Amino acid sequence: MTELTFPPSFSWGTATAAYQIEGARHEGGRRDSIWDTFAHTPGAVVNGDTGDVTCDHYHRMPSDVALMASLGLDTYRFSVSWARVCPDGRTPNPEGLDFYDRLVEELVGRGIRPWLTLYHWDLPQALQDR
């Protein structure tokens, strides 16, 4: 079998999307996103599954990052939940911004480069309604 080698600049990482991992639907000042509205529409999603809890990354973030470090990951690509950082579509939410600040600090402290996706299709419902 041929041995594959990766160049020194190759990064090992993982990626997530806020709606699919964070949970904590109405915690920390977060309001509904367009995905919350869709997922809570009867018949829209198989089994009525929602992103209300998901992997509960919002509460488990430090242990999630510790797990990433134990796997030897170099990078973590994540997205911002705009329903968390700007729930009404206009006003920044300090509690939501603090969550991402703590996430970045935790990543950097464990030698993992944060790669931020600014928008991953989870517009605040309040903004959609305008």
Domain extents in the chain: 13-41+50-129
What are the mean pLDDT values of the chain's consecutive 10-residue runs (130 residues total)? 92 97 98 98 96 98 99 98 97 98 99 98 96
* Residue 1 pLDDT: 86
In 3D space, the residue among 73, 39, 42 whose CA is nearest the CA of residue 54 turns out to be 39
Helices then strands, counting H and E runs in the chain, come out as 6, 3
pTM of the model: 0.93
Taking CA atoms, 128 is separated from 24, 98, 115, in Å, by: 21, 24, 26
Count of beta carbons in the 10 Å neighbourhood of residue 107: 21
